[in-house]
Amino acid sequence: MALLAAALLLATPPLRLPAMDGATHRLADYRGKVVLVNFWATWCEPCRTELPSIERLRAALAHEAFVVLAVQMGGSARTARDVAEELGLGFPMLLDRDSKVTEAWGVNLLPTTFLIAPDGAVASRQVGELDWSAPEARRRVEALLPRSTR
């Protein structure tokens, strides 16, 4: 029973959403890579503070098997594009227009960020703002990278 509960906690909900450029992204397509899935919203000021640090992390690990997917709760291509331009973000901004994916992932506080291991399992969940470019956060990501890319 305890094992079942642990398995349920670690189960990764599906994620399949369009980005602001119209391309559809599926989490399953990134198997073999570490994926940082960040949930944010336009009205969330800490999210806007946090997003540039995720971009710095992405840039620092640009040559590694590391991907960032930002999921905008109540997504709108217009506002996602504005924020991406304003903050200089280079990762896909996915649009959760009806917030169903946000709900399916059990996110009720923003920002919330998941690290997905290369095997597709949820490795960690961070609730609240974090400086993802700080050494400690970067080490958390690097520890999950496949050996060949470390």
Partner 1 sequence: MKRRELLVASIVAALPWRRLRAESGWRTFEVTTRAEISRPQGISRAWLPLPLGSASDWQRALGNAWSGNATRMEAMRVGTYGVPLLYAEWAADTQAPFVELKSKVSTRDRAADLTPSGAASLSRAEAALYTAPTESIPCDGLVRETALMRAAKGSRTDLDKGRAIYDWIVQNTVRDPKTRGCGTGNIKAMLESGNLGGKCADLNGLFVGFCRSLAIPARDVYGIRVASSTLGYKSLGTSSPVISKAQHCRAEFFVEGIGWVPVDPADVRKVILEEPPGNLTLQDPKVEAAHKRLFGSWEMNWLAFNTGHDVELPYSNGPKVPFLMYPNGETGGERLDQLDPDKFKYTITAREI
53, 99, 133, 149: residue in contact with partner 1 (rule CB under 8 A): 99
31, 76, 124, 150: residue in contact with partner 1 (rule CB under 8 A): 76
Strand order in the sheet with 93-96: 93-96, 66-73, 34-40, 112-116, 122-127
24 in contact with partner 1 (CB under 8 A): no
18 in contact with partner 1 (CB under 8 A): no
- Taking each helix axis from N to C end, the angle separating 45-60 and 135-142, rounded to the nearest 10 degrees, works out to 60
Site for partner 1 in 102-121 (CB under 8 A): 108-109
74 in contact with partner 1 (CB under 8 A): yes
Strands 34-40 and 112-116: antiparallel
Q: Which is nearer to partner 1, 7 or 127 (CB)?
A: 127
6, 11, 26, 43: residue in contact with partner 1 (rule CB under 8 A): 43
13, 18, 46, 52: residue in contact with partner 1 (rule CB under 8 A): 46
Residues 6+ apart with CB under 8 A from 1: none
* Residue 22 Cβ vs partner 1, minimum distance, rounded to whole Å: 12
- Dihedral of CA 50/52/54/57: which sign? negative
* Residue 107 Cβ vs partner 1, minimum distance, rounded to whole Å: 9
Site for partner 1, rule CB under 8 A:
42-46, 74, 76-79, 82, 97-99, 108-109, 127
